[in-house]
Amino acid sequence: MKTSIFLALLLSAVGGHAQTVLPEASEIRFVTRQMGVPVQGRFARWQAQLRFDPRQPQAAEVAFSIDTRSISFGAAETETEAARPLWFDSGRFAQAQFRSSGVKVLGSGRFEVGGSLSIKGRTKELVVPVSLALGPGPGQGVASGSFTLKRLDFGLGEGEWADVSVVANEVQVRFKLQLTGLAAP
């Protein structure tokens, strides 16, 4: 299950305005380069917990948990390699996590979400640009954005894979989350 409905209900019950992510219309993808050629992938299993009130966007809270074992490149051999200790070490570190620490309102449905990203036991602070488009129906919206991380900061691709001329250090992460339960501004 990609969305924690229980957590969304809990946040609503304690006074927050929680949203539900519609998994069938949402995605987390990434792009890197191997030997100069773009390599795309995605994560099939993840959970997102969001609390966002358009009247008080700076008080928003965001948390993600991504199952690193669900990485998909469309090639079984690559997916098996990605789970090994030199990459995600999914046997020991089955989850990558992001937790927001603050939201900056930029205007026109644009935000910067600051927080900490933990992968493979290493945590780094980052700022994620997010755009929020309301609609198409009442209480609905799409949160989307992208950011670049450096895989070696998280120990992804150690040993022989640390050579950035073989696999680029930069990984662009892209997300699109279809939301319900948004309050009117």
In a domain, 174, yes or no: yes
pTM (predicted TM-score): 0.86
Q: Is the bond preceding 136 in cis, omega lying within 30 degrees of 0? A: yes
Choose among 171, 103, 172, 116: nearest CA to 143: 103
In a domain, 150, yes or no: yes
Which CATH number fits the domain that encloses residue 66?
A: 2.40.128.110
In a domain, 52, yes or no: yes
The residue segments making up the domain with residue 124 are: 5-180
Query: What are the tens digits of pLDDT across the range 53-83?
Result: 878 888 999 999 999 999 999 999 999 999 9
In a domain, 169, yes or no: yes
In a domain, 185, yes or no: no
Query: What are the tens digits of pLDDT across the range 141-180?
Result: 999 999 999 999 999 999 999 999 999 999 999 999 999 9
Number of domains in the chain: 1
What's the pLDDT at 3? 33
